[in-house]
Structure 1
Amino acid sequence: MENMTVARVKGESTRQKSVLSNLHTPWNTHPFIFRLPTEMLEDIFIRCASDHHYKHDGRPIWAAPSWVNVSYVCHHWRHVALNCPTLWTYLFITSRRWREALLARSRQASLKIRGNLLALPDESRWLKMVETVMDHVERIQELRLKLPASYTTHQILSKLSSRAPRLQNLKIMVADSSSEWPSLLFDGDPPALHTLELSDCAVPLSSFKLNALTTLALHDVPVRFRQNIEEFLAALGCMQDLEDLYLYNALNSGTGFLSSAVFEYKNKIELPHLSCLLISAPLSTTVALLSCINFPLDTKTCLTCGLESSSFSDNYALLCSVLTQRYSVDEDQALSSPTILSLVIHVTYGSREVKLTFSESKIDCMDSVNQLWIPNSLLRINLVLEENDANRIIGNICCSMPLSNVQNLLVINPPFSPAFWRRMLGHIQDVRYIKLTSGNMPDLSVLSHTDLTALENEQNRTGVTGDQGQDRVLAPRLEDLVLECITFLSEGDSDQEEPAITRNCLFDALSTRPAQGHLTMTECWMSDSDDGLDLGLVWGECNVRVVYERVHSSEEEDSIDLEHDGSDLEHSDDTVY
């Protein structure tokens, strides 16, 4: 009797569960989340898988990622997930069961593979998956691999000899630069390949066709495998659709090429769609590439020029010549060509590094100066200079660019002489805003209205002539001069060849200017010789705002805010500790 009761209870329990399940099924059709169209659900699932796939950036995952749980929510979601082949093309697991399940569920959809074999505890486990997947190379759409210095690298690379008609994105980094590559990659013809990124490896570009390529990135090619300029240009000539070109320590020195007859008669390679160009190479290589490539004026360009001992001055002269030819436009092109509104000069003491940024937007702070791409920057040049060459070379490069429309000038660590400033301000006559930050105060006596003799002597020496007349003044439209973290020297620095520049020197220069303007000084260190300054001489009969901190020998800091309109002078003295 007792057993019969247990049987009835179990039967009733089963029946009740069935009733509840039958009730839940129609109930699940009422919430909005369960009434989404199948196509929308598939798109959501794929986005979850894609975000997880790229977020992990190829790091090994030893368990199924969280997005797989969408197939366990309900019968409807599971049906949608299992019938969406694209969802299972993001390969993520190493176990044999999951590997077979992924390949089966993805059916014939294109595969996206990311694998990082570097420093794995069980390299053979990951290798088995990679080898299995590489057997389906004809289905691979995206392949991103980080390979170690071991026997596995050759095993994987040997799989790359098969044809890959769907391959669009190939990114490979190899820790072992001596790895042997197949003589013919992808049977020499990956017709859909548009992105190629290679790091620390020597893939021969001539081993397969690159006609459809839109992005080429070569990073840290082993020295013994680097191509010379002529070989690279031959390969580049086939990439007419190229949009992004990144060359970082990828090519040999171009010194020999620049002195060869081939360079003199080399036809320029047309890259009409190029939008971003980054070159980090010896100076001669940079000059050779710029001389042999023709690309749009608005291409965002970043050049890092390594120092070369031979033909140093000649190569910099060639660089200036190339920049002049590239950015100088005639009247017909002036309306459609980009306009440079800001110039940033950043000098790094000790390393002799200089960064020049020419931007189409107004830049008045240094927050983004250290970024690779400053917003709207047209050209970025990073230089490594020899001793005592900063003034001359920076001046030559800047004056080779069309800067007549520059309104903002930002200089970081400005160790420049009056001759430099005469030349720069004579070239950017429309400048409205100058900011100097982090360094010693340069000699800005050239801002004086009476400093015409030195300017004329400089023009006569350089052969550059300008408008003559008593009303001529450098930077006549200057409205704001901002000094931030600048030190005024009461004694010159003989090692840096810097004269003694006090606050009085600056005010004396500004006091003779005919135009009105504003001066702002923030966190500047003043010399003791600035005591008793007559603020009535500041910048003529105009409104002047001066905010500065003065450091006494007792390390007490005074903050003073001054307003001067030529008649009334208001003081407010607040001590800041």
Structure 2
Amino acid sequence: MDKDAKPCEAKLYSDEKSSQLRESIRSRNQYTLIAKLPPEVLSEVFLHAELASRKRPDGVREPKLRFNFSFVCQYWRIVALSTPDIWSTLPENLGSNWSSIMLERSKNAGLTIDSILRDCDTPQGKSFNSELQKVVATYSNKLVDLTISCDDTMPQEDLQMFLDALPLSAYRLRHLRFALDAFSRQWPTIPESVFSDTRLSTLWMKGCDIAWTSSLMRGLEDLKITVGRSTSLLDFLDALKRMPSLKHLSLTHRSPFSDFPLSETRILLSSLQTLNVTLQPRDFVNVLRYLVVPASVVVEFRCFGSPDQEDTEIWSSSIRTFFSSMKGNSEVGVSTFQTLSISNDPNTKTSVRAWHQQLDGPFSTLDITPNFLFISRTVEPWLAGLFNSLPLSNLKTLKVLGLPSQPLLIQSFGDLPELETIHFDDSTQITRILQFSDIEDSSPIAFPHLQNLFMRCIFFSKINNSPRTSVDSLRECFLNRLSLGIPIQKISIIESSNIKHDDIRALSEIVPSVSWDGIEDYYGEEEDKFYA
């Protein structure tokens, strides 16, 4: 079937295939599909299942129907999740013959278990959890991937009892994940003896505790842990020393660390690819000072709450020191990082993300895009404080979106002689970006290499003396730069108001490349009056 088929055609094809396969089941027996479905038919099913998927508002595609299969060997799990329409006729309870047949026919194939524990207050929930324990114990020699989750309604004693009763000899187990929401109870402890024979490469733990000295912490490649209680920093760092192959580290620590190391010995994580750390502001100093990572690592830093001015200085200073250590670490061939992205998530954690490349020189790109709307009209103090600690002299690309007073913010960065491209969406005083000075000021233009402007959601003024920038004043700035021999080469204007085709033609006479979405009044007259 053509992959470019329209959604309606995909649905018709999906319905047709589903009908044919279900008829085959009814005419023979309910296990025919599992035992006899040929690979070429499976490939067709995968195709139509993908085409029949629908898009969510966030752009992610999802199947029309969803299933929660409690456990299934890895191959059949892929089949089940990829063909929701077809497998809807099959039983999904653990005690069914279908489950046993799937396990028997999987032979030595790696087994994946992904299950949600149920409340033991009900007979069904208690039976389900007991059956799950039995399956884990019986087939532990085939177990490759184990994921167990539950919500905070499950009593603490029932959850701990379930964990203590997991007798495993899972020598093939490589991926272990516990996602136990524990906001209304004490966190259970994962007994180390349960997994005595494992050689894990992935360990994810949320809502539960484990001893940092555990053998499970050794030789990991992917570690993701959310810690709820105060933890010994010394034990945590000792655990990292036993992970020379660690590629992905994610640590969320809600309480301050305790028991700090006496020495300044640093830990080299030479294989690390991603680093995600969420801490109290002052704990950044205590953790980052001991870590040395490659420049190719992808970094994301978050701190709980909105830091005050003192916390901001400590926070930004620890980040600056951390990045400086990356630059000076010759053992992993470190160059300086290239891109920094700063944003805030919906619960106002402060976030810094940096992507590193093996290139010489300081920042080449700075991206400031909060995920929420600022209430105030001024730049947050923590943001300005962080900028003061960044090496921006070689900055080439600047993205400032969703912030108030963007031109003034850019002006506060100081001289940016290498800046070539700016993205922004603030219509006030755009001329400050082009001139870095008031019209009457005779100071030199600070962005001599500026060539590209990407403007979005700009409310152009209809008069020249408005706080907002008019198209005429923008054109005058372009002419001024042209006369000085530093012309703008490219501009892009989208989703903006009070701009017409004649304005675009006038700008095109000065700027070689002008891109416009053709919408003269994107937000309408009422919205435009509001921003006037």
Is the contact between residue 204 and residue 224 of structure 2 (CA under 8 Å) also seen in structure 1?
Answer: yes
Listed one character per residue, the Cα deviations across residues 68-118 of structure 1 (whole Å, up to 9, x for unaligned) are: 9x9xxxxxxxxxxxxxxxxxxxx9752265566566656676543222234
Find the aligned partners of 1:289 and 1:474 in 2 and give their Cα distance: 38
Contact 1:138 1:163 in 2 (8 A): yes
Q: 1:282 aligns with which of 280, 283, 286?
A: 280
Q: Does 1:337 align with 2:335?
A: yes
SS in 1 for 2:277: strand
Query: Which SS does the other structure have where 2:418 is aligned?
Result: coil
Question: Normalising by the residue count of structure 2, what TM-score does the alignment of the two structures yield?
Answer: 0.63
Partner residue, 1:448: 435
Match of 1:436 in 2: 424
Distance 1:473 1:58, change over 3 A: same
In structure 2, how many angstroms separate the alpha carbons of the residues matched to 1:252 and 1:107?
46
Going from structure 1 to structure 2, the CA distance change for 1:452 and 1:268 (only over 3 Å counts) comes to: farther
Q: Which residue of 2 aligns with 1:5?
A: none
Match of 1:481 in 2: 453
Shift of residue 241 of structure 1? 1.6
Distance change >3 Å, CA 296–CA 104, structure 1 → 2 = same
1:521 matched to 2:493:
yes
| Amino acid aligned to 2:480 | T
Instruction: Give the drift of 1:449.
Output: 7.8
Separation in 2, partners of 1:336, 1:508: 45
Q: How does 1:223-262 map to 2 (within 5 A)?
A: 223=228, 225-227=229-231, 229-248=233-252, 250-253=253-256, 262=260
Q: 1:214 to 1:417 in 2, by over 3 A?
A: closer
Question: Residue 141 of structure 1 is aligned with which of 138, 141, 144?
Answer: 144
Amino acid in the other structure paired with 2:211:
P
1:318 aligns with 317
C-alpha deviation, 1:295, in angstroms: 1.0
Is the 8 Å Cα contact of residues 447 and 509 (structure 1) preserved in structure 2? yes
Please tell me whether residue 422 in structure 1 is matched to residue 393 in structure 2: no
**Aligned partner (choices 549, 555, 566) of residue 525 of structure 2:** 555
In structure 1, which of residues 136, 159, 166 is the aligned counterpart of residue 165 of structure 2?
159
SS of equivalent residue, structure 2 residue 203:
strand
Alignment of 1:31-430 (within 5 A): 59-60=68-69, 94-95=94-95, 97=97, 111-118=111-118, 122-136=124-138, 139=141, 140-147=143-150, 149-150=154-155, 152-160=158-166, 162-176=168-182, 178=185, 181=188, 184-186=191-193, 189-219=196-226, 221=227, 223=228, 225-227=229-231, 229-248=233-252, 250-253=253-256, 262=260, 265-307=263-305, 311-326=310-325, 328=327, 337=335, 340=338, 390=379, 393-398=382-387, 400-416=389-405, 420-424=409-413, 426-427=415-416, 429-430=417-418
Secondary structure in 1 matching 2:159? helix
For the structure 1 residues 485 and 175, does the alpha-carbon distance in structure 2 shift closer, same or farther, using more than 3 Å as the test? closer
1:304 positional shift? 2.1
Q: Is 1:274–1:299's contact at 8 Å kept on the other side of the alignment?
A: yes
TM-aligned CA distance change 1:316 to 1:416, over 3 Å: farther
Q: Which runs of 5+ in 2 are unaligned?
A: 1-37, 50-62, 80-90, 358-363
Distance (Å, rounded) in 2 between the aligned partners of 1:202 and 1:243: 22
Change (3 A) 1:228 1:114: same
Q: What is the deviation of 1:185?
A: 1.6
Letter in 1 for 2:315: Y
Shift of 1:195: 0.6
2:182 & 2:527 partners in 1: Cα distance?
A: 58
Q: Give the C-alpha shift of residue 451 in structure 1.
A: 6.8
SS in 2 for 1:218: strand
Tell me: CA distance 1:277–1:104, structure 2 relative to 1, closer, same or farther (3 Å): same
Q: For residues 476 and 293 of structure 1, do their structure 2 counterparts lie closer, same or farther at Cα, with a shift above 3 Å needed?
A: same
Aligned equivalents of 2:250, 2:99: Cα separation in 1:
35
Partner of 1:512: 480
Segments of structure 1 that go 5 or more residues without pairing to the other structure are 1-39, 71-90, 362-375, 457-471, 492-497, 559-577
1:391–1:416 Cα contact (<8 Å) kept: no
Cα distance change of structure 1 residues 541 and 551 upon mapping to structure 2, 3 Å threshold: closer
SS at match of 2:164: helix
Q: 1:180 to 1:293 in 2, by over 3 A?
A: closer
- After superposition, the C-alpha distances for 1:340-386 in whole angstroms (9 at most, x for unaligned) are 3x6666689x987776665579xxxxxxxxxxxxxx99999979999
- Structure-2 residue corresponding to 1:569: none
Cα deviation for residue 204 of structure 1 reads 3.5
Structure-2 change in CA distance of 1:268 and 1:490 (3 Å): farther
1:292 Cα deviation (Å)?
Answer: 2.0
Q: Which amino acid aligns with 1:410?
A: K
Q: Distance in 2 between matches of 1:175 and 1:334?
A: 38
Q: TM-score, normalised by structure 1?
A: 0.59
Contact 1:516 1:540 in 2 (8 A): no
Deviation at 1:285, TM superposition (A): 3.0
Between the two proteins, the alignment pairs up a number of residues equal to 438
